[in-house]
Structure 1
Amino acid sequence: MKRVVALNVVGLTKSVLGAHTPRINAFLGEGQMSSFKPAFPAVTCTAQSSYVTGKSEGDHGIVANGWYDREAAEVKFWKQSNHIVQGEKIWDKLRREVPGFTCAKLFWWYNMYATADWTITPRPMYPADGRKVFDVYTQPMGMREEIKADLGDFPFPTFWGPNAGIPSSEWIASSAKWVEQKHAPTLSLVYLPHLDYGLQKYGPVAEEMGAEIEKIDTVVGDLIDFFEGRDVDVVLLSEYGISKVDQPVHLNRIFREKGWITIKDELGTEMLDCGASKVFAVADHQVAHIYVNDQSIREEVLAVLKAVDGVEEVRNAEESFGSEFSDKGVERSGDFIAVSKENAWFTYYYWMDDALAPDFARCVDIHRKPGYDPVELFLDPQISNPKLKIGKFLLKKKLGFRGLLDVIPLDASLVKGSHGRDNVCEEEQPIFATRGSHGEIHNAEEVFDKICECVKGS
Structure 2
Amino acid sequence: MTSKIVVINVVGLTPELLQHAPRISQAGSAKPLRGPLPAVTSTAQATILTGLNPAEHGIVGNGWYFRETGEIRFWQQANTLIQGETLYQAISPAKTAKMFWWYNQGAPVEWSATPKPHYGCDGSKEFGILDRTSCELVKNLGPFPFHAFWGPFSGVASSQWIAAASAKVIEQKRPELTLVYLPHLDYDYQRFTEHDPQRVAEVDACAGTVIDAAERIRAEVIILSEYGLVPVSRPVMINQALREAGLLTVRDGPFGEMLMPMDSKAFAVVDHQLAHIYVSDRSLLPAVRDCLESLPGVDAVVDPCDIGLGHPRSGELVALSEPDAWFCYYYWLDDRKAPDFARTVDIHRKPGYDPCELFITSKFRAAARLAQKKLGMRYRMDVVPLDPRLVRGSHGLRTAPQKGAVIVGQDPPEDMLQVKDYVRSRMER
SS of 2:92's partner is helix
Partner of 1:153: 143
Partner of 2:411: 437
Partner of 1:233: 220
**Residue 129 of structure 2 is aligned with which of 120, 136, 147?**
136
Matched residues in 1 for 2:312 and 2:253: separation? 30
Give the alignment of 1:365-384 within 5 angstroms.
365-380=346-361
Partner of 1:182: 172
Matched residues in 2 for 1:172 and 1:89: separation? 22
Partner of 2:288: 301
TM-score, normalised by the number of residues in structure 2: 0.96
CA contact (8 A) 2:249 2:263 kept: yes
**Coordinate RMSD, CA, aligned:** 1.5
Q: 2:180 aligned with 1:199, yes or no?
A: no
Partner of 1:326: none
CA contact (8 A) 2:227 2:404 kept: yes
CA contact (8 A) 1:255 1:261 kept: yes
Matched residues in 1 for 2:255 and 2:51: separation? 47
Deviations 1:4-29 (A, max 9, x none): 100100001012223x323334x15x
Greater alpha carbon shift after TM alignment, 224-233 vs 192-201: 224-233
**Residue 111 of structure 1 is aligned with which of 104, 115, 121?**
104
Deviation at 1:88, TM superposition (A): 1.0
Partner of 2:275: 288
Give the alignment of 1:55-94 within 5 angstroms.
55-94=52-91
CA contact (8 A) 2:73 2:348 kept: yes
| 1:104–1:268 distance in 2 versus 1, CA, 3 Å | closer
Deviation at 1:394, TM superposition (A): 1.7
Deviations 1:315-355 (A, max 9, x none): 21333346xxxxxx521000011111111100101111111
Deviation at 1:222, TM superposition (A): 3.1
Deviations 1:289-321 (A, max 9, x none): 000013332111112222221111222133334
SS of 2:76's partner is coil
Q: 2:369 aligned with 1:393, yes or no?
A: yes
Q: 2:406 aligned with 1:416, yes or no?
A: no
SS of 1:75's partner is strand
Deviation at 1:443, TM superposition (A): 2.0
Amino acid at match of 1:115: P
Matched residues in 2 for 1:391 and 1:36: separation? 42
Deviation at 1:35, TM superposition (A): 0.8
Partner of 1:253: 240
Partner of 1:342: 323
TM-score, normalised by the number of residues in structure 1: 0.91
Matched residues in 2 for 1:268 and 1:426: separation? 45
Deviation at 1:73, TM superposition (A): 0.8
Matched residues in 1 for 2:42 and 2:414: separation? 19
Q: 2:118 aligned with 1:125, yes or no?
A: yes
Deviations 1:174-231 (A, max 9, x none): 111111122100010000000011111112x24xx23222211211223223312331
Partner of 1:383: none
CA contact (8 A) 2:64 2:313 kept: yes
Partner of 2:425: 453
SS of 2:416's partner is coil
Give 5+ residue unaligned stretches, structure 1: 323-328, 381-385
CA contact (8 A) 2:56 2:311 kept: no
**Residue 200 of structure 2 is aligned with which of 206, 210, 213?**
213
SS of 2:181's partner is strand
Amino acid at match of 2:180: V
Deviations 1:114-154 (A, max 9, x none): 001111110101011211100001336xx38x221111111
Amino acid at match of 1:135: G
SS of 1:266's partner is coil
Matched residues in 2 for 1:332 and 1:320: separation? 14
Amino acid at match of 2:22: P
Matched residues in 1 for 2:273 and 2:91: separation? 34
Q: 2:163 aligned with 1:173, yes or no?
A: yes
Deviations 1:205-259 (A, max 9, x none): 24xx232222112112232233123311110110001111011101001111111
Partner of 1:354: 335
Partner of 1:325: none
Amino acid at match of 1:105: K
Amino acid at match of 2:64: W
CA contact (8 A) 1:39 1:443 kept: no
SS of 1:332's partner is coil
Matched residues in 2 for 1:21 and 1:54: separation? 27
Deviations 1:337-380 (A, max 9, x none): 11111111001011111111111000000000000000100012
Amino acid at match of 2:70: A
Amino acid at match of 1:425: A
Deviation at 1:80, TM superposition (A): 0.6
Aligned sequence identity (%): 43
CA contact (8 A) 2:240 2:330 kept: yes
Amino acid at match of 2:7: A
Matched residues in 2 for 1:127 and 1:198: separation? 32
Count of residues in correspondence between the two structures: 428
Give 5+ residue unaligned stretches, structure 2: none
Q: 2:76 aligned with 1:51, yes or no?
A: no
SS of 1:275's partner is helix
Amino acid at match of 1:243: V
CA contact (8 A) 1:104 1:118 kept: yes
CA contact (8 A) 2:245 2:291 kept: no
Matched residues in 2 for 1:197 and 1:288: separation? 21
Matched residues in 2 for 1:321 and 1:38: separation? 11
Greater alpha carbon shift after TM alignment, 125-134 vs 216-225: 216-225
Partner of 1:42: 39
